[in-house]
Amino acid sequence: MGTIRVIISLVVSHGWNLHQLDVKNVFLHGFLKEEVYMEQPLGYATNDPTKWVCKLQKSLHGLKQTSPSWFDRFSLHIQQAGFLRNSLGHSLFIYHSCEVTTWLLIYVDDIVLIENSSCHMSHVKEVLQQEFKMKDLSELRYFLGVELDRKGDTLTLTQHKYTLDILDRTSMTNCKPINTPSVLNTKLNVSNGSDAYPNPSFYRSIVGMLQYLTFTHPDIVYVVNQVSQFMHAPTKGHMDATKRILCYLKATLGDGLIYTRQSTVLHGHNISTYTDANWAGDPHDKRSVSSYCLFLDFNLICWSSRNQRAVARSSTEVDYTAMTAGTTEASWLRHLLGELSLPIAQSFRFCHNQSAIKIAFNPVLHNRTKHIEIDQHFIRQKVAEDEIVSTYISTSEQVADLFTKGLTRHHFWELKNKLCVKDTKKGFSEILGS
């Protein structure tokens, strides 16, 4: 998903074209490498008493070899047409020749073509249609349940229809809108609302849908991460927290992730990483919550909110671990832009813990850092190579704070606006009637 958002941001920044193709009967295109046999289907078997079986040459729906065999055939064909497969994401193929640049993203039977030359786009479509049965859907409008609305130098990603489906399925269409997805200073634990929820399968289904909704709703990532930790044994209190998220979604139906064209791309792209952590944020096992978010220029690309694997001994260690996670993602983005032959101007990392920043610069091992795992210290190498510039930022301006805890209404909406998540249909005050 991060790769998809990177590509969309770059398309907007450079003013390129986005087209979509749909492969018909996608799982019937693959050639099997293994020997697979099947019983004769009904209506095909003869009266011959011998129990004949069929040896499959091509894949069928339901075989575990179906997806790999289809992708192998497609990958081979598109590479023969001059594309190179991206080493950081095998679903991305890159073509670059002189002034012509073409990128191809594939997800099962959905193909997205991005390029700066309409002539070469037509050629690529012809090459694909000669080998596979395809439907040209023209300009990209709907992809993986995400709606795309492009107007001039702005492109908006929304999941409006998907959100309505969730509210309808949970009978929350007429619920009362709420202005924040979580309660301030309230943390979920195993015993919230001690009575077990009578329909855990329904709870898991709702949370699963909310997880997919975070593709365009980074503002609910923290609270969705919280309710996801109790899928095995949810209580009524956990369900109440989930319903609050749905009430918040009712109030923000028009929200979308907005990407805008930047004027600085000619001098190289800037990467900004915000990292934050909530020390001992889990009241049950005292593990801390790490978060980060990445901006490519001013467009939000990646975000995360998750519990750390081990219990931290200090807030410094917590923030240092969060910085490592953010640096890892920024390093991936730098390499991806490199393979796309795009220049990088600068890469910044913003953190509000000055002790963690000093540890990143100081290679000396001392008592406060000797217990930190070795793999966390690769951040020092990135700093030494000037790949990352560490910068202090005040807590009030720390965007990643949205992913670590429940906030007041004012602070929540202030940070949410900085994430480029904005109402694309009608104002929040109109929805609430205030």
pTM assigned to the model: 0.83
pLDDT digits (tens, 9 = 90+) for 106-157: 988 889 998 887 788 888 898 998 888 889 888 889 888 899 998 888 899 9
Can you give the pLDDT at residue 224?
A: 94
Q: Report d(CA 6, CA 172) in Å as an integer.
A: 33
Beta bridge partners of 256: 422
Contact 101, 11 (CB under 8 A): no
Can you give the pLDDT at residue 264?
A: 62
- Domain range summary for the chain, segments of one domain joined by +: 2-137, 145-434
Can you give the pLDDT at residue 367?
A: 55
Contacts for 130 with CB less than 8 Å, ≥ 6 apart: none
Can you give the pLDDT at residue 369?
A: 60
Can you give the pLDDT at residue 370?
A: 59
User: b/e string for 204-235 if b means 16 or more Cβ within 10 A?
Assistant: eebbebbebbbbbbbbbbbbbbbbbbbeeebb
Which residues does the chain have with pLDDT short of 50? 427-434
Q: Report d(CA 13, CA 7) in Å as an integer.
A: 10
Can you give the pLDDT at residue 211?
A: 94
Domain 145-434: which CATH number of 1.10.1450.10, 3.40.50.410, 3.90.650.10, 3.30.420.10: 3.30.420.10
